[in-house]
Amino acid sequence: MKPLIQNIFFVFFVFSALGCTTKSVNSNAPEPSRKPHYIDIEIERLAKQLIDEKRKLADIREAKLQAKATPTNRPPKIPQSAIFSGLETQRTLKCEGCDLKVALQSIAVLLGWDVNSVYEVGRKPAQGVPVTIELNNEPLRIALQQIKMDAGHIMNLRIDPNFKSMLIEYKTLGL
């Protein structure tokens, strides 16, 4: 009698295990290969919208600060080309949607610096920081202005001509 009960329990266990692995357990669930696809697309779309909104808010904040500042308490504007020589060099550079670090490495090479002289500090966004640079025999300072327009709300850029290096300091974006 005991082996009969064991066989019955074994058969019940096998059927219950096979029943849990069938496709009919959740017939409404999408295929595993398709499930992350539309979620990833939606997350990417929302992340781009969030970055655009943050950029707009940063522009509005900067405009308000400039409007509040009187001519006496505004810091004197120093042209970027006065910081160090080399930014007035006429170059051609086209970089559409490339990563911020790659764009700065290309500028470093155009300045005659080492390609590995660009450093990153802080929490880089997971999707990267895409920037667009279009120079056609224009000064390199314009490329830095274009980078500031694209990614100024995400990072601070420090350029040290003495050490021939660039430091990207990512800001923490609080929601």
Cα 153 versus chain centre, distance: 11
Coil, helix or strand at residue 10 = helix
Name the class of domain 85-170: alpha beta
- C-alpha distances in Å from residue 112, one per residue of 86, 87, 141: 9, 11, 15
pLDDT of residue 53: 87
Concatenating the DSSP letter of every residue in 76-118 gives PP--GGGTSTTTT-EEEEEEEEEEHHHHHHHHHHHTT--GGGE
**Would you give the DSSP letter of residue 112?**
T
Q: What is the pLDDT of residue 81?
A: 47
Largest CA distance in the chain: 101
CA atoms of 158 and 29, how far apart (whole Å): 50
pLDDT of residue 120: 93
Q: What is the pLDDT of residue 72?
A: 60
Extract the residue ranges of the chain whose pLDDT is less than 50.
80-82
- The pTM of this model reads 0.53
- Residue-range domain boundaries for the chain: 38-72, 85-170
Q: What confidence score (pLDDT) does residue 100 get?
A: 93
